[in-house]
Chains A and B, each alone.
Chain A
Amino acid sequence: MDQDKASPLGTAAAWIVAFLMFFPILWMTVTAFKTETQAIAIPPIVFFRPGMESFAHATAQAGYMLFAENSIIVSFASTLLALLIAFPAAYAMAFQPGKHTQNLLVWMLSTKMLPPVGVLVPIYLICRDLGLLDTRTALIVIDMLMNLPIVVWMLYSFFRDIPRDILEAARMDGVGPRKQMIYLLLPLASPGIVSAALLAIILAWNEAFWSINLTAAHAGTLATFIARYSAPEGLFWAKLSAASVLAVAPILVFGSFAQRRLVRGLTVGAVK
């Protein structure tokens, strides 16, 4: 339906909308390059000599580096674990479907529907009793479980696009499931695997509920850092903005790569 060129009016409207939606992020980025005085100046300062002081101050904050490291470790480790567990499951469902495969998939997806707050109390108590409060292990396991259904679903839907004959031929030649997965599926489905991984990393990185409630000074992620930063130092806008830019930038980059395939994962296939 987009064969013919848009009217100038339509184009202008699209750009205005794009600018307005992006503006808060842009303004945060601009503020990050200001000094504290410039950041709160009224009327707002648009032209100024950008400086990196706020970034230096923000990253020198007690614990910032640890929180950034936690974010990276938790999101990558949980994603890797989810992929390792989801890969064989998706393989079995896509290439050896049984009578109950569909139901199993729907059930897996339905576990996503459980509101985290409904199980806040037991999870908190389990972590407390196991000595897992404020540990990266707890967050890695929880993020992995939260993302597992989506990763299984995405891998399954990408595996289904692979011609079955290829795997069938390999099976006829006596290639076992493990070798099929490693030598055939891994390279064939790599774009799908990458987008599943990107989505899982994004979701784990931006996960705030569990990290705020289960972690503090040791295993806190950037979400925790920013949420806590807000309380006593909310008025240091330049520093807060700098810390925020650093926390958001990597995910914006990942997101821009994955955006076309995100719909498939996020709507678990309900929209095609």
Chain B
Amino acid sequence: MAYAMKGAETAGRAMAQDGLARGRRRSSWLLLSPAVGMLALWAFVPLAMTLYYSFQRYNLLYPERRGFVGLLNYQLMVTDPSFWTAIVNTLLLVLGVLATTLVLGTVFALLLNQNFRGRGVARLMVIAPFFVLPPVAALIWKNLLFDPLNGLIGWLCTLMGLQPVAWFTVHPMLSLVIIVAWEWTPFATLILLTALQSLDSEQLEAARMDGAKPMSRIIYIVLPHLARPMAITVMMESIFLLSIFAEILTTTAGGPGDATTTLTYLIYIRALLDFDVGGGSAAGVLAIILANIVAFFLMRAVARNIEE
């Protein structure tokens, strides 16, 4: 009886929906169009312009010498050793930060997932660095911690009888990796912690009943469960890490030499300091391609989840 009523109700609703469908489709487009239109402009117009400029000889200092030069900008780019240095630096920064944040993020998430008093406060303390303005994060480390004369780490080194190190001169890339990893470990922790909380507790309970030690429970049950969230973390972070900029600007400005000049920073130098629109755009096209390779896999994962 109840089923029949429900069936009739659904049928009636379906008929009403059918009649409304056309009007609704129109109203749907009306509601969607501002967002879709703006994002379409934002996504395609600058992209097309970057592509166009990348085939142009165009320097803002000599605007009269402008013209189509084919692939010259790309040719100049790939034959320029500083471009390859920037690629290597980008990979070092991204991979260094990814490795650090994944390992620390997993450990931190496991620790914070325990049941102890004040867990909320501890979690907030771990996540806090993510909310710090990038230039501020960079400057805390550069001055208060890494400074060889007045910084805390230099002082700790002398306490232990070591020579304080001028971090940004001796280990510029390592210093940068440390700073950026400090900012992004909270992100990995937050995602992995969320994933841990959706872990089926019965499975762990069963494993414990069967006498599995904590370590083997982590290795055989928890880590496999984290594999997918870890992959998502890697992809999300790579997208953001490719664009790291303020941290470099405020600490090393790409130096010493070009030791910390990443692709993003190189484009900034080319475009806004050398005013080389063509060269900057060619490198920009390359950055977009790099990001798209990562984005392709990421969006597949996202799409799969939305459909579920």
Contacts and interface: CB of A to CB of B under 8 A. Distances in A.
Interface of A: 1-6, 10-11, 13-15, 17-19, 21-22, 24-25, 27-28, 31, 40-44, 85-86, 88-89, 91-93, 96, 98, 102, 104-106, 108-126, 145, 148-149, 152, 168, 171-172, 177, 202, 205-206, 208-209, 212-213, 222-223, 226-227, 230, 234-235, 237, 240-241, 244, 247-248, 251-252, 254-256, 259, 262-263, 266-272
Contacts of B199: 1
Contact of B295 (A105, A110, A149, A212): A110
B143 A248 contact: no
Given A27-B140, A208-B133, A86 B111 contact: no
Contact of A118 (B25, B133, B288, B299): B288
A102 B306 contact: yes
Given A115-B291, A119-B284, A121-B49, 5 more contacts: A21-B129, A121-B277, A234-B143, A255-B128, A272-B194
Nearest to B199: A1
Closest 8 CB pairs of A and B: A113-B295, A6-B114, A122-B49, A119-B46, A208-B246, A89-B35, A88-B31, A22-B125
B144 A255 contact: no
A222 B113 CA distance: 35
A255 B183 CA distance: 14
A148 to B, nearest CB: 6
B32 A205 contact: no
B115 interface: yes
Contacts of B272: 120, 124, 213
A6 to B, nearest CB: 4
Interface stretch (B75-83, B169-177, B185-193): B185-193
B143 A119 contact: no
B72 interface: no
B55 interface: no
B302 interface: yes
A244 B191 contact: no
B97 interface: no
A27 B146 CA distance: 13
Nearest to B117: A11
B195 interface: yes
Interface in B67-115: 107-108, 111-115
Interface of B: 13, 16, 20, 24-25, 27-29, 31-32, 34-36, 38-39, 42-43, 45-47, 49-50, 53, 107-108, 111-119, 121-137, 139-145, 149-150, 152, 154-155, 182, 185-187, 190-191, 194-196, 198-199, 201, 204, 228-229, 232, 236, 239, 242-243, 245-246, 249-250, 263-264, 267-268, 271-272, 277, 280-281, 284-285, 287-288, 290-292, 294-295, 298-299, 301-303, 305-307
B162 to A, nearest CB: 15
Given A269-B306, A270-B301, A96 B27 contact: yes
14 contacts: A11-B116, A85-B34, A92-B28, A106-B299, A108-B39, A110-B295, A111-B39, A113-B291, A117-B284, A118-B47, A121-B281, A208-B134, A230-B142, A270-B302
A119 B111 contact: no
B84 to A, nearest CB: 18
A226 B204 CA distance: 48
A71 to B, nearest CB: 9
Contacts of B291: 113-115, 118
A126 B140 contact: no
